[in-house]
Amino acid sequence: MREEQNKKTSQKVIKMLRKRWVVPAIYLVSAAVILTGALWYQYSNAPTPTKTGTTVDTTREPDAIPASQPEEKLTYPVSKDVTVQVKSHYYDDSASKDEQQASLIQTDSNTFTINTGMDLVDKSGKEFDVTAALSGTVTKAQKDAELGYVVVVESGNGLVSYYQSLKSVSVDPGTKVSQGQVLGTAGTALIGKENGIHVHYELRKDGVAINPEKYQGQEVSSIISSVNTKSETKESNTMNTSGSVSDDNEEDSSNSDTDGNKIQQ
C-alpha cells in the first residue's frame, strides 16, 4: 500500500520535472535564496559606520567680534616727524583787519583774492613730503602751469582735499590713499612763489572751501555735521594760490598751535 503511494508520488514528480518551466524556476529560487543569504551575512558582519566631518568643540568660546575702527580725524598734510609753520592762514571773516590783510593773495599787480586754504612751509626752507590729511580716492594728479602739481582727494560725503604747489606727485588718479600716505613733495609755483617751498592745502565741503585749521583734530562726521555752508564756507570756483604775506614774528614763535604759526604733527 505504502509502496503504491510512493510510486504514484514519484510518477507525479517525474511528470512535473518534464515540464519546461519547472527546472528554470528551481534554479531561480535557489539563486535568490543564496543571494539573500550572502547579503545578510555581509551586512550583519559589516562595521558600524561612523559620521565624518569637522568636530565641533562646544567648549570653545565664539570668536570675538572685532571692534569698529576709530573714526578718522583731520590732520595736517605733513608727516608726524615734520615741523611746519603756517605761512598764510585761511581768510576768516571774523578775524582782525590785520589778519585778514595777511590772508589776501596778490594774483597780479592790481588784483587780490582771499586765501581759501592754508599754506605750510618748513622753517628751514627744505622740501618735505606732503601727505593725505584724510583717506579717500585721488581724482586728480597733474601739473598746472601756474599752480605746480595739484592733487585732489575725495573722502566722501562731499568732503574733498586739495593739495597744490607740489614739486612732484607719487599717486595717480583712481588711487585709493590712506590718511598719512605720501602724495608728493612740497615745491614752488608761479602763483605763491613768495612762499618758497610750501604746500597750499584746502578743504572743501560740497564744492565750497571751509577753514581747515578750525577743524584740525576733529572727526570727519563732526566736521560734516557742523559745517554751515551759508556762514562758514566761501565760494571757490578755482583753487586759490598760496598766501603772499609772511609774518616776521613767526620765526621766533615756539607755540605748537596754529595761532603761533608753528605746527608739530
Rg (CA), the chain: 44
Domain range spanning residue 30?
2-45
Q: How confident is residue 69, by pLDDT bands cut at 50, 70 and 90?
A: confident
Q: How confident is residue 232, by pLDDT bands cut at 50, 70 and 90?
A: low
Residue 241 has pLDDT above 50, yes or no: no
Same domain, 25 and 109: no
pTM here? 0.64
Q: What is the mean pLDDT of residues 132-155?
A: 96
User: Is residue 73 situated within a structural domain?
Assistant: no
Same domain, 138 and 212: yes
User: Is residue 68 situated within a structural domain?
Assistant: no
Long-range pairs of 106-113 with CB within 8 A, sequence gap ≥ 24: 106/244, 107/191, 107/241, 113/240, 113/241
Q: Could you tell me the CA-to-CA distances from 53 to 23, 48, 62, 130, 254 in Å, in that order? A: 52, 16, 19, 55, 68
> DSSP states of 41-73 as a string?
HHHHHSPPP---SPPP-TTSPPPPPPPPPPPPB
User: Is residue 58 situated within a structural domain?
Assistant: no
Same domain, 137 and 215: yes
Q: Which residues contact residue 243 at a Cβ distance below 8 angstroms, ignoring those fewer than 6 apart? A: 87, 88, 89, 102, 103, 104, 105, 115, 119, 192, 195
Coil, helix or strand at residue 154: strand
Residue 245 has pLDDT above 50, yes or no: no
User: Is residue 151 situated within a structural domain?
Assistant: yes
Residue for grid cell 562595521: 47
Q: How confident is residue 218, by pLDDT bands cut at 50, 70 and 90?
A: very high
Domains held by the chain: number: 2
Q: What is the mean pLDDT of residues 117-140?
A: 95
Burial classification of residue 57, based on how many CB atoms lie within 10 Å of its CB (0-12 exposed, 13-18 middle, 19 or more buried): exposed
Same domain, 163 and 238: yes
Q: pLDDT over 70 for what percent of the chain?
A: 62
User: Is residue 62 situated within a structural domain?
Assistant: no
Same domain, 88 and 202: yes
Question: Where is 223: in which H helix or E strand?
Answer: helix 220-226
> DSSP states of 81-108 as a string?
T-EEEEEE----TTS-HHHHHHTEEESS
CATH number for the domain spanning 238: value is: 2.70.70.10
pLDDT of 10: 60
pLDDT of 188: 92
User: Is residue 76 situated within a structural domain?
Assistant: no
